[in-house]
Amino acid sequence: MSEPPFDLFVIGAGSGGVRAARMAAERGARVAVAEDAAFGGTCVNLGCIPKKLYSFAAHYAESFDEAHGYGWAAERPAFDWPKLKANRASEVSRLNAIYGQLMRGAGAAVIEGRARITGTHEVEVNGVRHAAERILVATGGWPVPPEVPGGDLAISSNEIFDLAQFPRRLVVVGGGYIACEFASIFNGLGAKVTQLYRGEQILRGFDDEVRDFVANEMRKKGVDVRVGVKVSALERGADGIRVLLAGGGELLADAVLYATGRAPNSRGLGLESLGVSLAPNGAIEVDEHYRTNVPSIYALGDVIDRVQLTPVALAEAMALVDELFGGTGRRVDYTHIPTAVFTHPNIGTIGFTESAARARFEKIRVYRTDFKPLRHTLSGHTERTLMKLVVDDASDKVVGLHMVGADAGETIQGFAVAMKAGATKAVFDATLGIHPTAAEEFVTMRQAVVA
């Protein structure tokens, strides 16, 4: 048993756990962090960072093609899958080390090993029990395995980055943002990609017009997006994995990626034995201060399954540290969270979809434009950009802003500040655009297309 006990024992060194541990330690708390995998969690190791790096890699193929329209005559270079993997691994290792340095530099004790909560104020790691006044669970999420015969032949987003051989034929099952991103990425890298989704359109929960627009753009780029399709089984064949479709038909693939959801990673932590309340999907149930029904145990990030985004976990960590160790008393506002999806082209969005706004407000106005970006007037590509504003008619506030196009996430971040400040359509109209940019369209749309 440790003596004296820790003020805060954090289980999980992902984005939320590291932020909570570091900031609590910097405020003088005695903090320990336990992690049984690489520091940085899903985002650094198996999510945001490697996925964005692979997205950059995939864009180069298009850029080489586009260069011909701008006078460049060089042939497209060959793609080296092993080199991309090695360079990504090197960058991730660098980030792993930085996360460790951040925690240790702040004064937190870092314990490498699998943690289990053995009492309301006790955590066991590697056979050693540590006393703690408070325990924070920040163990993230994990891909949901496929529930079809032969599902063990599939891979998840955890394995896709390090496949031994580049999959020339890739089947992606799922219609969420992870499935769409990997379909776009591997299509750009040169794979023949078929994406299967059982619903009526990919990206459920996003604006309907954005969903239709992105699906069309992905198809134009070569992704075979098929909706209303279910997989009945996977089988090992002599020439690849056979993907059997419900209702008949099959596909052959070198790899099958299942991206059909992620579940909170709460198993094996000892929570059930202590009576900690869990949702049916394993999410740890917490109050507005991230406290469970066991007063000494807290949880945040993907394991509570509110909004599974790295910036949300970071914000939750700061709110918790303020609550426990003094601060500004900040609270996380879960409304108007800006989001980017790294499909090709990208999606950037914040606020209400058009349908959600219609349900929320008495009357809305919608402003919309889609156009060929200046870049593609010479590139020869047919990619188009969509921009959309949703305005509450009574207050004139912009309550929804959506974009599909190059670097949409970079564009939306700035507009997110304006919307957080309550900008009205009149403010948008009074703002001068930067010409020539795509972003200027957001401040030059004057005629409502739907009212």
Q: Which residue numbers are catalytic?
A: 435
Residue 150 DSSP SS3: coil
Q: How far apart are CA 141 and CA 134, in angstroms?
A: 22
> Given the DSSP bridges, would you call strands 240-245 and 250-253 parallel, antiparallel or unpaired?
antiparallel
CA distances to 52, 74, 83, 347, 445 from 189, in Å: 13, 18, 13, 19, 36
Q: How far apart are CA 185 and CA 131, in angstroms?
A: 46
Amino acid letter, 2: S
Q: How far apart are CA 244 and CA 256, in angstroms?
A: 12
Which residues, 6 or more positions from 337, have their beta carbon under 8 angstroms from its beta carbon?
307, 309, 311, 312, 350
Amino acid letter, 307: V
CA distances to 106, 209, 256, 377 from 229, in Å: 51, 21, 15, 36
Which residues, 6 or more positions from 98, have their beta carbon under 8 angstroms from its beta carbon?
none
Q: Which two tokens stand for residue 404?
A: 């599909």
Instruction: Convert 64-100 to b/e letters by CB count within 10 Å (16 or more is b).
Output: eebeeeeeeeeeeeeeeeeebbeebeeebeebbeebb
DSSP string, 255-312: EEEE-S-EEE--TTSSTGGGT--B-TTSPBP--TTSB-SSTTEEE-GGGGTS---HHH
Within 326-362, residue ranges assigned H as helices are 354-360
In terms of residues, how long is the chain?
A: 451
Inter-residue contact 8 to 24 (CB < 8 Å): yes
Rg (CA), the chain: 24
- Burial of 356: CB neighbours in 10 Å, binned 0-12, 13-18, 19+: middle
